[in-house]
Amino acid sequence: MPTKYIFVAGGVMSGIGKGIATASIGRILKSKGFKVTALKIDPYINVDAGTMNPVEHGEVFVTDDGTECDQDVGNYERFLDENIYKDNYMTTGSVYLSVINKERNLEYGGECVSVVPGIPNEVISTIKRAGQKAKADFVLTEIGGTVGEYQNMLFLEAARMMKFQHPKDVLFIMVSYLPIPGMIGEMKTKPTQQAVKNLNEAGIQADMILARAEVALDEPRKKKLAIYCNIHPEDVFSAPDAKSIYEIPINFEQEDIGNKILRKLGLKARTSNLKEWADLVKLIRNNPKEVNIGIVGKYFESGKFTLMDSYISVIESIKHAAFSQNRKANISWISSEEFEKKPESLKELKQYDGIIVPGGFGNRGVEGKIKAIEYCRKNKIPFFGLCLGLQLSVIEYARNVVGIKDATSREFDREAKNPVIDVMQEQKELLKQKHYGGTMRLGAYECHVQDGTISHKAYKDWVGEVKGSYMISERHRHRYEVNNDYKAILQDNGLVIAGVNPKKDLVEIIEVKNHPFFVATQFHPEFKSRPLKPHPLFKEFIKAAIKTTQKISR
């Protein structure tokens, strides 16, 4: 069958779950036996998401091949249970950069390179390449932002051109928002009608509309949208708010969206197999017992709003692991700066079953995180450190167990006397030349897991090997590393080095002994957790959290 291309564009406003809608449709098509991949287009000039502030843009997700991309790519990987690569993420910056590089290499053979069709053609070839590499039957492309924005015009133009080139193989889905203004108390369709018109102006007719709203769409509004948007009522889908994002594929399937897509693209209907997914949703809806996890971090506030998007993969990984233990994760946000101002508030950590210190950059709030880590270590609260969380755990151990009182990271103090966390030579050069974009230690690296450790036990199911040390692969995004000059003294004082990258001899996992669970990783395990395949370290952490609370009442 020829590859089918589905474009998903957004109407009215952003942040209404276009990414989850795209990922859900992907999951449904995969469950019908098709090979599916998904791409995200981010209309920013930034060449990748690595240089975007996570408070504004959300988490920077990292793929195996080290692409720093939008968090929606994480949603695709989680829903599709497929790895995604570089070609599946585009920005205005990355597309222009690649066209300019080709021009500089004379690849246009002396032609005058125009914005149109030069840029849309580059977009089209990237989409096709992503499809070919994934050997996909379906390539879903989500165009970021909202139709009518100047920023995504060239991407819509690429989509229009693709439809013109492959009329039978391209489908357009508009995910739009229907507000219910408080003073009117009625669901309004007009903004969506306008959004569809905007899409028409770009030469595109939506084939389907997903109507996002607080509540389900009723029949009169469905009919109204159909008439004004030039679409059949059965192609307007109700997409009300859901309690959990994992309900969305099940909700969509209730309206048979998968088969409607197949028929529109000239394919025969097929049954979906969403059994395991439906079981997961059943578990969520049954309101299982909770496990209380606290995340000690920063990046939480933007004006009056708390933005949790910067840690979305961490949140989802906690949830997946909790589901696997028939629990629901109750996640709380703890600002580390509070511990710096009021050390007596550290006691509050006792109310949690487990504590996570996630990744982060810069020195704001780090002393508070170090205090929280010390508290978890001493009070035997299950603790899981991720990336910066490992670095701060090593600093805490060096200061409070080994006795190196001024131990710190070169990131916080350029002149540090005892940089137990330091920057490697190759990174030093990059920083000197101000080469910041895309130059961290990124993507998948191997890690040798030491026999007899908690991590070794946790990963066993994953690697399918029981005896001896073995290798795993995990994703990275950081510049600083444990300084090997201090490895011996840390180990002599009882710190367990549970994982090491053998090629570069870099510390990847540390553990503390005689503790229910104290594990920290230099990599980001959260990028590899999937709803039905929780990450082994998160799973072991949640298991320990449940067990510890059962045993002691703190």
Active site residues: 387, 524, 526
Name the token pair of 143: 């165009």
* Strand 301-302, strand 305-306: pairing: antiparallel
Between 95 and 440, CB nearer to ligand GLN = 440
Shortest separation between residue 287's beta carbon and ligand GLN, angstroms: 34
Measured in Å, how far apart are the chain's first and last C-alpha atoms? 61
Stretch that binds ligand GLN, among 94-102, 205-213, 259-267, 473-481 (CB under 6 A): 473-481
| Of the candidate residues 163, 369, 399, 477, the single one contacting ligand GLN (CB under 6 A) | 477
Stretch that binds ligand GLN, among 172-180, 320-328, 472-480, 529-537 (CB under 6 A): 472-480
- The answer to the question of residue 365 lying near ligand GLN (CB under 6 A) is no
Contact 499, 449 (CB under 8 A): yes
* Separation between Cα atoms, residue 304 and residue 307, nearest integer Å: 10
Between 247 and 396, CB nearer to ligand GLN = 396
- The answer to the question of residue 298 lying near ligand GLN (CB under 6 A) is no
Name the token pair of 524: 């980001």
| Of the candidate residues 47, 127, 130, 387, the single one contacting ligand GLN (CB under 6 A) | 387
| Of the candidate residues 478, 515, 539, 543, the single one contacting ligand GLN (CB under 6 A) | 478
Shortest separation between residue 412's beta carbon and ligand GLN, angstroms: 9
Between 26 and 360, CB nearer to ligand GLN = 360
Between 7 and 480, CB nearer to ligand GLN = 480
- The answer to the question of residue 361 lying near ligand GLN (CB under 6 A) is yes
Concatenate the DSSP letters of all residues of 77-96 into one string: HHHHT----GGGEEEHHHHH
* Separation between Cα atoms, residue 261 and residue 250, nearest integer Å: 16
| Of the candidate residues 69, 136, 248, 388, the single one contacting ligand GLN (CB under 6 A) | 388
Reply yes or no: is the peptide bond before residue 167 cis, omega within 30 of 0: no
| Of the candidate residues 70, 411, 511, 540, the single one contacting ligand GLN (CB under 6 A) | 411
Residue owning tokens 């996640």: 331
Residue owning tokens 């997409």: 239
The secondary structure of residue 415, as a DSSP letter, is: T
Between 478 and 515, CB nearer to ligand GLN = 478
Give the 3-state secondary structure of residue 375. helix
- The answer to the question of residue 369 lying near ligand GLN (CB under 6 A) is no
Shortest separation between residue 379's beta carbon and ligand GLN, angstroms: 24
Residues 125-154 that bind ligand GLN (CB under 6 A): none
The radius of gyration of the chain from alpha carbons, rounded to an integer in Å, stands at 25
- Please report, for residues 359, 432, 479, the alpha-carbon distance to residue 427 in angstroms, rounded to integers and kept in the order given: 19, 9, 7
- Phi (first) and psi of residue 418, to 5 degrees: -125, 75
* Separation between Cα atoms, residue 346 and residue 355, nearest integer Å: 12
Please report, as ranges, the residues that interact with ligand GLN according to CB under 6 A.
359-361, 387-388, 411, 477-480
